[in-house]
Amino acid sequence: MEQTRVPHVVLLPFPAYGHIKPMLSLAKLFSHAGFRITFVNTDQYHDRLFGNTDVTAFYKHFPNFLCTSIPDGLPPDNPRFGIYTKDWFCSNKPVSKLAFRQLLMTPGRLPTCIISDSIMSFAIDVAEELNIPIITFRPYSAYCSWSDFHFSKLAEEGELPVTDENFDKPVTCIPELENIFRNRDLPSICRHGGPDDPILQTFIRDTSATTRTSALVINTFNEIEGPIISKLGSRLTKIYTVGPLHALLKSRIQEDSVESSPLESNNCVLSKEDRSCMTWLGSQPSRSVLYVSFGSFIKLSGDQILEFWHGIVNSGKGFLWVIRSDLIDGESGVGPVPAELDQGTKERGCIVSWAPQEEVLAHQAIGGFLTHSGWNSTLESMVAGVPMICWPQVGDQQVNSRCVSEIWKIGFDMKDTCDRSTIEKLVRDLMDNKRDKIMESTVQIAKMARDAVKEGGSSYRNLEKLIEDIRLMAFKA
């Protein structure tokens, strides 16, 4: 293929690790297929990611890969979450839109196509202005995507905001979710305000803009969300399901590599991983350890930390707990640690600030996962065949936890509660009392996920089609 016909793809993730990680996997897959890649983060996340990455090794493995960044319009000290979420979602887009357009206009960089996160809909405006094909990427489940398409309907029906009073009211205006979802299982944006809430309106506009793009790429696989993917197909021109992307990346690259583990040193991570936990896991009995992690940005109060700590220790199970340096909200921390917690942790626990999660979940010592139900964590747990206890907090996590417990039946949903007795009971149920039943579904779905990314599997084939379609765009350009 002539150099001018080599596809050049610009990828623009939303600036949050849960969005960046799967899109980076997709970008690596395109690079492996011979595409030129420009991966565009915001300045803040670009610096964080590559501050913990062996950049030389990364570019050696992906030589046709350019990582660059644009400003988000916010001051460096803005936390970009919590009470500042409105700034993060709404105020940055004019600045980012201008910077993104300027980047695309750089000589030699006009791409074959753009793949943008569905929340970064300003990229659609830029693509239309410059006559560049654009594909939308959704890093979360089809169930969540389908819910997003019905925010306007929920508002019209007077269901928003979701409050304590209507938490358990069944969802009635979203096809396929009736009699399965309650209001409390809808995306957390539904709790934030009424129909005029600026963040909700931003989501509605972003979701609607998806219909103006050439196609939608979703990090899921047909075998677990087929009916919902079909529903989405009624709204969109073309859909490629290519998940679980982390597993597809390993499948595609390792089958062509003579290296035993070509990706281990080339992952971009937000924090330095403490690998001492892997040594500790190696000394634990098979399926005896509960892995606990609440992702990259969820915060807990000191009281919540103590409730989890008591419940986990009281369960009598071994545990590996990721406690980030910024996990606890506020300056007071947890106060003096009760003696029984300190002793229980010394006897059965291991606490680290960040862990190599995919490797942890694949370890034979892990028997369960207490998770915030981020979609990346959910997929990683599925692939590893590890059942979950779900404690969702924001975004799509409420949707994911309901699917885990009620649709796929591979875990328990603990949303909207945080007390030590419930935690202790669910840990015992997951690891002992109800394990046999839940493992039946867990093993089945793990096989589905692994088969989807193997040669001939549904996601493997869909990626092949996506790659070929982008090559055709380059040929026609």
Reply yes or no on whether 117 is catalytic: yes
In the predicted model, what is the mean pLDDT of residues 204-220?
96
H or E element: which one contains 240? Answer: strand 239-241
Q: Name the pTM for this structure.
A: 0.94
SS3 328: strand
In the predicted model, what is the mean pLDDT of residues 239-246?
98
Summarised one tens digit per residue, pLDDT across range 397-452 is: 999 999 999 999 999 999 999 999 999 999 999 999 999 999 999 999 999 999 99
Eight-state DSSP code of residue 88: I
Confidence of residue 335 (pLDDT cuts 50, 70, 90): confident
Confidence of residue 92 (pLDDT cuts 50, 70, 90): low
In the predicted model, what is the mean pLDDT of residues 160-175?
94
Reply yes or no on whether 329 is catalytic: no
Residue 134 in tokens: 């654009």
Confidence of residue 107 (pLDDT cuts 50, 70, 90): confident
pLDDT at 259: 47
State the average pLDDT for the chain. Answer: 91
Query: Which amino acid appears at position 153 of this protein?
Result: K
Distances (CA, A) of 427 to 60, 65, 98, 178, 261: 43, 43, 49, 29, 33
pLDDT at 272: 83
Residue 472 contacts by C-beta under 8 Å, 6 or more apart in sequence? none
Residue with tokens 């501050």: 51
Residue 420 contacts by C-beta under 8 Å, 6 or more apart in sequence? 307, 308, 310, 311, 314
Q: Select which of 72, 117, 148, 185 is catalytic.
A: 117
pLDDT at 75: 78
Query: Which amino acid appears at position 349 of this protein?
Result: G
In the predicted model, what is the mean pLDDT of residues 372-378?
98
Summarised one tens digit per residue, pLDDT across range 36-82 is: 999 999 888 888 777 777 777 888 888 899 999 998 878 777 766 65
CA distance 236 to 227: 15
CA distance 44 to 40: 11
CA distance 350 to 277: 7
For the chain, domains (ranges, CATH) are 3-255+455-476 (3.40.50.2000), 276-450 (3.40.50.2000)
Please answer whether residues 190 and 151 qualify as being in contact, where contact means their C-beta atoms are separated by less than 8 angstroms. yes
Please answer whether residues 186 and 153 qualify as being in contact, where contact means their C-beta atoms are separated by less than 8 angstroms. no
Beta bridge partners of 366: 289
Annotate 424-459 with DSSP letters as a single string. Answer: HHHHHIIIIITHHHHHHHHHHHHHHHHHHHSTTSHH
In the predicted model, what is the mean pLDDT of residues 297-309?
94
Eight-state DSSP code of residue 237: S
Q: Select which of 8, 19, 46, 372 is catalytic.
A: 19
- What values do phi and psi take at 218, rounded to 5? -125, 140
